Amino acid sequence: MTNEELMRLLPAPQGYRILIAIPKKEETYKDSQIVIAEPTRQKEEIASIVGLVMALGPQAYQDPEKFPDGPWCKEGDYIIMRSYSGTRFKITTPEGDQEFRIINDDTVEAVIADPRVVTRL
C-alpha cells in the first residue's frame, strides 16, 4: 500500500487535533537478537511517547494567546507526547496493523530528530 493510499484511509483531524502515527516497535532487543514477545511489543506501542505527525486539524496552533510563537510541530515531525495520550485506533492494511492517535495540539511536548534514540522510562 502506498503512502497516498494510506492517507485516504485515515481520518482527518478536526479542530485543534493532530493525527499521529505510532512507530512500530522493533522485533528484537537492540543489544541482542532476542525476540520481543508480541504482547510486550503491543504494550510498548500503547504506552509509546513518540509519534509521527501525519496531519494537523484546521484550528491546530491557531490560538495566538496559547501559541504566541506559532506551531510547536508540523507534518512530518517526530514528536514526544505524554504516555497513553489521545484517542487510539488502528488501521489494518495488507502490510499489517498500524496504530494511530488523535491528540490535542498542546499535548506535544517536544520535537525530535530521531525517534530511535528515545526510550520511555
The span from the CA of 121 to the CA of 102, in Å, is 23
User: In whole angstroms, how large is the CA radius of gyration of the chain?
Assistant: 15
Give the mean pLDDT of 91-108. 90
**8-22, 24-38, 102-116: least confident range:** 24-38
3 state SS of 41? helix
Q: Looking at residue 44, what is its pLDDT?
A: 64
Residue 82 lies in a domain: yes
Give the mean pLDDT of 7-25. 90
Top-confidence range, 42-51, 92-101, 107-116: 107-116
The candidate with the shortest Cα–Cα distance to 15, out of 67, 72, 55, 64, is 55
Domain CATH code at residue 38: 2.30.33.40
21: its cell numbers: 502515527
Angle, CA of 87, 89 and 91, to the nearest 5°: 150
- Quote the domain boundaries for residue 72: 3-115
Q: Looking at residue 55, what is its pLDDT?
A: 96
Q: What is the number of domains present in the chain?
A: 1
Q: What pTM does this model have?
A: 0.83
Residue 108 lies in a domain: yes
Residue 120 lies in a domain: no
Q: Which residues pair with 55 in a beta bridge?
A: 19
